[in-house]
Amino acid sequence: MTDVDTAQLAGRKVIVTGGAGFIGSHLCEALVDIGAEVICMDDLSAGKRDNVAHLENRSNRPNFRFAELDVCDSGPAMDAVFEGVDTVFHNAASKKNICLINPHRDLDVNAGGALNLLQMSMKHGVRKFVQASTGSVYGEPQIFPTTETHPFEPVSYYGVSKLAGERYVDVFHKLYGLDTTILRYFHVYGPRQESNEFGGVVSIFLRRITQGQNPIVFGHGEQVRSFTWVKDLVEANLRAALSPRATGQAFNAASGIRVTINELAKGMLEILDPQQKLAVEHGEPLIGDIMEFDVSNTKIREELGIEFEGDFWGTLKTALADIDSFLGKTDKAEAAA
Ligand SMILES: NC(=O)c1ccc[n+]([C@@H]2O[C@H](COP(=O)([O-])OP(=O)(O)OC[C@H]3O[C@@H](n4cnc5c(N)ncnc54)[C@H](O)[C@@H]3O)[C@@H](O)[C@H]2O)c1
């Protein structure tokens, strides 16, 4: 493992697509702190300007700007944003539940958007392209622990379209020598994750419990998840952007821990409902829901030196000490409504 000094990103112009979303906003925050010139590109279809308001309003650090753009846009506004860019962190996506509603839009954004940004990157001499992908490209895993060489058998529109995005990234590396890295995320949790039906399970349970409603588990609840702390993914992105060992590679970016949805629901009730007024409820199973995850993160730990947070309950308890900031401003208002 080569050590990576992420401070090297200071002064470099970077684009974070999906920067007003959950993971993207944390990445923007870290890059602003490092001193990079950060352009947060988002069409606000799912993200919120509120998620980055604290970065926009920092008069002492004017190294952040917001560009309201669709990643599929190839017009002059996109060219202007790409001028002088060193690194693209491509995090924008049409997410899993949205894909079920509108698979054509999902294909446009997750595959076409990646292709457009890759073309823009070549046109403007971008040095590095980091692609946020997903464990959904493997489908229901057949080989455990699941390494990066697992066959691609997606079982959702989302998995198919994200895989197409990945394949474009690979083609640009192989055909044109673009320096690319693919990070496959799994079950990310942390503050500002959407808590509506398009959000993550931790935030959804949190919102329901704080509203005095039972958490609803889809199906039997023995689905295993490898919950990964959002700050670890930020570190993975920063290191991927700089390490020569990341060039042309794909990495599982997962904590490797295993928690079932039943355990999550019960554990969150213990933390948030000590009076035991609420109970776990079971609903219909979700179409394409993956049951078993046992993800190998050996490659990213060895090659990029990422140390994943292994204390899921400890980290969650600390983060939940400030429920308002966990749910984010708008979610909080919606929860109260
Ligand atoms: N959260 C997870 O557990 C998880 C797991 C696996 C992979 N991922 C991947 O991580 C990335 C970030 O996910 P997230 O959880 O932060 O989701 P999110 O929905 O919070 O963020 C995605 C952002 O992309 C923006 N966006 C969507 N379509 C766009 C478009 N056409 N142009 C510009 N912006 C657009 C949305 O407005 C939103 O702000 C995505 O690529 C997702 O596929 C997330």
> Mind listing the pLDDT tens digit for each residue in 56-102?
987 776 899 999 999 999 999 999 999 999 999 999 999 866 667 88
Neighbours of 213 (CB within 10 A): 12
Residue 245: half-sphere exposure toward Cβ, Cα within 13 Å:
16
Pairing between β-strand 37-42 and β-strand 13-17 as defined by DSSP bridges: parallel
Nearest CA to ligand 1 atom 21: 21
Number of domains in the chain: 1
Query: Is the shortest distance between the CB of 117 and ligand 1 below 6 Å?
Result: no
Task: Output the CA 21–ligand 1 centroid distance in Å.
Answer: 6
Tell me if 277 is assigned to some domain. Answer: no
- Percentage of residues in the chain with pLDDT exceeding 90? 85
pLDDT surpassing 70 at residue 228: yes
Tell me if 130 is assigned to some domain. Answer: yes
Task: Output the CA 176–ligand 1 centroid distance in Å.
Answer: 26
For position 1, what pLDDT does the model report?
55
Tell me if 272 is assigned to some domain. Answer: no
Residues in the chain: 337
CATH of the domain at 154: 3.40.50.720
pLDDT surpassing 50 at residue 332: no
- Condensed to tens digits (0 to 9), the pLDDT of residues 138-162 reads 999 999 999 999 999 999 899 999 9
| Cα 46 from Cα 292, distance rounded (Å) | 28
Least confident range from 85-89, 226-230, 322-326: namely 322-326
Please identify which residue in the block is written with the tokens 């979610």: 331
- Condensed to tens digits (0 to 9), the pLDDT of residues 180-208 reads 999 999 999 999 998 888 789 999 999 99
For position 3, what pLDDT does the model report?
84
Tell me if 65 is assigned to some domain. Answer: yes
Structural domain harbouring 225: 9-258+288-336
Query: Is the shortest distance between the CB of 24 and ligand 1 below 6 Å?
Result: yes
Tell me if 273 is assigned to some domain. Answer: no
Q: Which atom of ligand 1 is nearest to the CA of 194?
A: 20
Tell me if 269 is assigned to some domain. Answer: no
Residue ranges of E strands in 76-173: 87-90, 128-134
What 3-state class would DSSP assign to 260? strand
pLDDT surpassing 50 at residue 337: no
Q: Ligand 1 pocket test: which of 40, 72, 91, 98 has the largest number of ligand atoms within 8 Å of its C-beta?
A: 91
> What confidence category does residue 287 fall into, taking pLDDT thresholds of 50, 70 and 90?
confident
Q: Identify whether the C-beta of residue 291 lies closer than 8 Å to the C-beta of residue 337.
A: no
Neighbours of 217 (CB within 10 A): 22
Tell me if 271 is assigned to some domain. Answer: no
Tell me if 127 is assigned to some domain. Answer: yes
Distance of CA 228 to the CA centre of its chain: 10
Q: Which atom of ligand 1 is nearest to the CA of 92?
A: 24
Pairing between β-strand 128-134 and β-strand 179-185 as defined by DSSP bridges: parallel
Q: Which atom of ligand 1 is nearest to the CA of 135?
A: 6
Task: Output the CA 15–ligand 1 centroid distance in Å.
Answer: 14
Residue 185 designated active-site: no
Task: Output the CA 26–ligand 1 centroid distance in Å.
Answer: 12
| pTM summary value | 0.96
Nearest to 228 by CA among 306, 289, 309: 309
